[in-house]
Structure 1
Amino acid sequence: MAAFFERIWAYISTFFASYNWLNDTLDILLVAFFIFFIVRLVRDSRAEQLVKGIAVLGILYLLATLLNLTTVKYLLKAVFDNGLIVLVVIFQPEIRRALEQAGHSRAGIFRVFDGFNQVDSAAIIEQWHKAIDATAAALMILQKQKMGALVVMERTTRLGEIIRTGTTIEAEPSADLIANIFFNKAPLHDGATIIRDGMICAAGCILPLTDNLQISRELGTRHRAGVGMSENSDAVVIILSEESGIISVAVGGELTRNYTQESLVKMLEDTILWNDKETKRIKKSKKKGKGEEG
């Protein structure tokens, strides 16, 4: 038993003797971050089941190697050799979304530029308050008139491709304007209205439809478009059903329903404004400034 522990201690000593604390630690941290990023990418997505399947194939390949099952090992090796290209094609939307999220990260080097936009960010927050209030009020007007609506609130993922499918507006948000856009005889009422930085950016835009089979068949094209948009970006999508008058919100591919005007305003403020560390900091600094003035 003593010899066993001596061998273990000798192995540990040898390992740390050759361990480069700077390079090896950095190497381990980068690999750990990459694994964490991949786990976040596949979790709660259609890729999750595929990853489990790949893990099973990996175990089978290991067993085939240990048991010297030549044919099985050859077939599995062929699958792994050619599978990467197939995975890139099948999961292009997930990969694209992951790269967009990485590009819009608020961490690390990207925070160097935060200080230059502090005043602008504070102004945008005020503009977002106006847009949220106007949207909620417009939905109440449309709800009474039994008309539908589809509003996309852009966050960090830029929606230039979607905006180009519609008509550019660039207008100050108001309940009357938003309601008029979705009036059932208006030329732009069938598409989505995009709100960027608290301003109405475009209307009549075409959104990608979800292929999620779990979406209820009772929900129409507006709901499928709203969920599809939220799957392909971090946008918040508000849907008003023309048939039932129910207000729904799609975020991250998930649909929540039955919002009132008050609960919708609170949800949008929590998601768009105070869910971001920078806006929390600005809010806190504004309160501090008001206290000093008093």
Structure 2
Amino acid sequence: MFTGGDFQFLGLLRAVVDIALVAYVVYKLITVIRGTRAVQLLKGITVILAVWFLSSFFGLRTLQWIMGQAVTYGLLAIIIIFQPELRRALEQLGRGRIFGRTATPEEENDLKTVEAIMKSVKYMAKRRIGALISIEKETGMNDYVETGIPMNASVTSELLINTFIPNTPLHDGAVIMRRNEISAAACYLPLSENPFISKELGTRHRAALGISEVTDCLTIAVSEETGGISVTKNGDLHRDLDEETLRAMLERELIADVKNTSSLWQWGGKKHG
């Protein structure tokens, strides 16, 4: 049997849970619209509601009626105005991401870099455009950056693709990236002297393997002959990678919240040697 005190406790617990859930939903909605024009529109709506309250408090009938009409028909206007943000929130809800952990700005930038690399590599592999992208890690690569053309540009798929288009000034050589920035293009990398490298591999793959033997960088090579995608790190060459494996490797190495959790080389691909 529940006593009166038990019912009061359950009612209080229910109210606390209710308030906590509403607060969490409001917080997640704020994170969805953060950085969009919806923030400024919300400020405008806050002003309208404040004027409505003050006009009601001071008995300003005409102003109160105008603000009342604005609030009454404002719901339809909000749906129209916030349509992009509402669609974005529903898409995230459908993917189960809206109530997940919020990514930090650093992680969001890392994700954009991964997406840019994936988009450019897929484009070049499909069209058999040779490419060599080396991503600096702990070991500095200044000596190799100095052999190329300084860029110091944000990473975008369009810039990466345009850099490796054949017969352009920067296509011959490697792109070296630092974090989310392209440091230089047309860089010269050391060739591997490993005698056991397959004879079918050309200079691009030998350079990718060579730089991985002297630094801890991650290097992506796209074959001009086959369109195959290879990745090198710590002297290992993994060939013929599919999109899923490449994405997993990049996320493991480049995204702040997962790059230190386990080894990169647990995924597949044909390993050199």
- TM-score, length of structure 1 as denominator length: 0.51
1:124, distance to aligned residue in structure 2 (A): 4.0
Specify every segment of 5 or more residues in structure 1 that has no aligned partner in the other structure, as ranges. 1-121, 278-294
SS at match of 2:186: strand
1:257, distance to aligned residue in structure 2 (A): 1.3
Task: Please say if 1:205 is aligned against 2:180.
Answer: no
Match of 1:265 in 2: 247
| 1:194-222 superposed Cα distances (whole Å, 9 cap, x missing partner) | 11011111110000111111110100000
Tell me how large the CA RMSD over aligned residues is.
Answer: 1.7
Match of 1:275 in 2: 259
1:229, distance to aligned residue in structure 2 (A): 0.5
- TM-score, length of structure 2 as denominator length: 0.55
Contact 1:169 1:200 in 2 (8 A): yes
Residue from 135, 138, 144 that aligns with 2:120? 138
CA separation in 2, counterparts of 1:156 and 1:150?
19
1:266, distance to aligned residue in structure 2 (A): 1.1
| 1:215-268 superposed Cα distances (whole Å, 9 cap, x missing partner) | 101000000000010111000000000001100000001000112223211111
Contact 2:229 2:240 in 1 (8 A): yes
Residue from 136, 152, 170 that aligns with 2:152? 170
1:271, distance to aligned residue in structure 2 (A): 2.6
Q: Rg larger in 1 or in 2?
A: 2
Match of 2:223 in 1: 241
Residues 197 and 124 of structure 1: CA distance in aligned 2, closer, same or farther (over 3 Å): farther
Contact 1:129 1:198 in 2 (8 A): no
**Mean Cα displacement is larger for which, 125-134 or 136-145?**
125-134
Contact 1:152 1:194 in 2 (8 A): yes
| 1:156-211 superposed Cα distances (whole Å, 9 cap, x missing partner) | 11111110000111111111110000000211111100110111111100001111
Q: Which runs of 4+ in 1 moved over 6 A?
A: none
CA separation in 2, counterparts of 1:184 and 1:138?
15
Residue from 105, 111, 130 that aligns with 1:148? 130
Residue from 255, 266, 273 that aligns with 2:237? 255
Larger helix share, 1 or 2? 1
CA separation in 2, counterparts of 1:176 and 1:276?
29
CA separation in 1, counterparts of 2:193 and 2:143?
20
SS at match of 1:202: strand
Contact 1:124 1:198 in 2 (8 A): no
CA separation in 2, counterparts of 1:172 and 1:275?
21
Contact 2:252 2:260 in 1 (8 A): no
| 1:115-168 superposed Cα distances (whole Å, 9 cap, x missing partner) | xxxxxxx54443222222111111111122221100001111111111000011
Match of 2:269 in 1: none
Query: What aligned pairs does 1:71-220 form with structure 2 within 5 A after superposition?
Result: 123-220=105-202
CA separation in 1, counterparts of 2:226 and 2:253?
25
Residues 229 and 177 of structure 1: CA distance in aligned 2, closer, same or farther (over 3 Å): same
Identity %: 39
CA separation in 1, counterparts of 2:179 and 2:157?
17
Specify every segment of 5 or more residues in structure 2 that has no aligned partner in the other structure, as ranges. 1-103, 262-273
How many pairs were matched up?
A: 157
> Could you tell me which amino acid in structure 1 is paired with residue 160 of structure 2?
I
